């Protein structure tokens, strides 16, 4: 089953995709995580994309399409994948269709105040990438990951001025992508203003209704 998850920065795409990946046993592929990893390593790709990511701008399509082509050709994607953060432009959506077939696009939505609150309180484990929130999903010990004991940090692009820029970029670029999947009849809007477990339940319900998942 090939799923793409769409929605504004901070709506919870990574959180839900990680949970769905465990349940459905298919990999969660986050282009944002992949880019941050390359930046951390200081690789050639990391040096190319660093400025875009830190300013909250989109990385050029040519680069992103190559990254995804390579990633989804790997063996762990044979039974499907959950793509988080790609496509972000119409060109990326069309390129993805030329590589593989997408079964469903889950479009998560929540009010702007909820999103800003989620992004400003987000903390991530430096070692394993687990996502926390200082109020909504706090770790047992402040600043320490429950899963691996690694240190938690705040993303560079979760600073207030970059958050605003990311939301603006999203507003200006995602409509054609949503329309693209709507026209194909595979865009499903999910209300992401509820708690995590409730949102994940809504996703599973939709997958069952669409015949993509048996009971």
State the catalytic residues: 13, 88, 122, 155, 166
Minimum Å gap between C-beta 61 and ligand AP5 is 7
Residue 105 is encoded by which pair of tokens? 């696009």
Output 20 or 35, the one with its CB closest to ligand AP5.
35
**DSSP string across 28-90:** EEEHHHHHHHHHHHT-HHHHHHHHHHHHTPPPPHHHHHHHHHHHHTSGGGTT-EEEES---SH
Minimum Å gap between C-beta 136 and ligand AP5 is 4
In this structure, are residues 53 and 35 in contact, taking their beta carbons and an 8 Å threshold? yes
The residue ranges that bind ligand AP5 (CB under 6 A) are 7, 9-15, 31-32, 35, 52-53, 56-59, 64, 85-86, 88, 92, 118-119, 121-122, 131-133, 136-137, 157, 166, 192, 195-196, 199
Q: What share of the chain is helix, strand, coil (3-state, %, to 5)?
A: 50, 15, 35
In this structure, are residues 121 and 133 in contact, taking their beta carbons and an 8 Å threshold? yes
| Residue number, nearest CB to ligand AP5 | 32
Output 134 or 186, the one with its CB closest to ligand AP5.
134
Output 27 or 32, the one with its CB closest to ligand AP5.
32
Output 160 or 215, the one with its CB closest to ligand AP5.
160
Minimum Å gap between C-beta 208 and ligand AP5 is 20
* Sheet of strand 81-84, all strands in order from the earlier edge strand to the far edge: 28-30, 81-84, 2-6, 104-109, 187-191
Minimum Å gap between C-beta 167 and ligand AP5 is 9
């Amino acid at each position: 089953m090939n799923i793409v998850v769409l929605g504004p920065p901070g709506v919870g795409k990574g959180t839900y995709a990680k949970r769905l990946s465990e349940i459905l046993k298919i990999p969660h592929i986050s282009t944002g995580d992949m880019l941050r990893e390359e930046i951390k390593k200081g690789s050639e790709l990391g040096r190319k994309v660093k400025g875009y990511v830190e300013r909250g701008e989109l990385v050029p399509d040519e680069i992103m399409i190559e990254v995804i082509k390579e990633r989804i050709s790997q063996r762990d994607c044979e039974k499907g994948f959950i793509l988080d953060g790609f496509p972000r432009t119409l060109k990326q959506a069309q390129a993805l269709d030329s590589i593989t077939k997408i079964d469903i696009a889950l479009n998560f939505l929540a009010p702007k105040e909820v999103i800003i609150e989620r992004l400003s309180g987000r903390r991530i484990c430096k070692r394993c990438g687990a996502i926390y929130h200082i109020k909504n999903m706090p770790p047992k010990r402040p600043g320490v990951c429950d899963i691996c004991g690694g240190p938690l940090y705040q993303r560079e692009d979760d600073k207030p001025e970059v958050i605003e820029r990311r939301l603006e970029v999203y507003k200006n670029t995602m409509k054609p992508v949503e329309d693209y999947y709507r026209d194909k009849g595979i865009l499903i809007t999910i209300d992401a203003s509820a708690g995590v477990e409730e949102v994940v339940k809504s996703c599973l319900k939709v997958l069952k209704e669409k015949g993509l998942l048996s009971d």
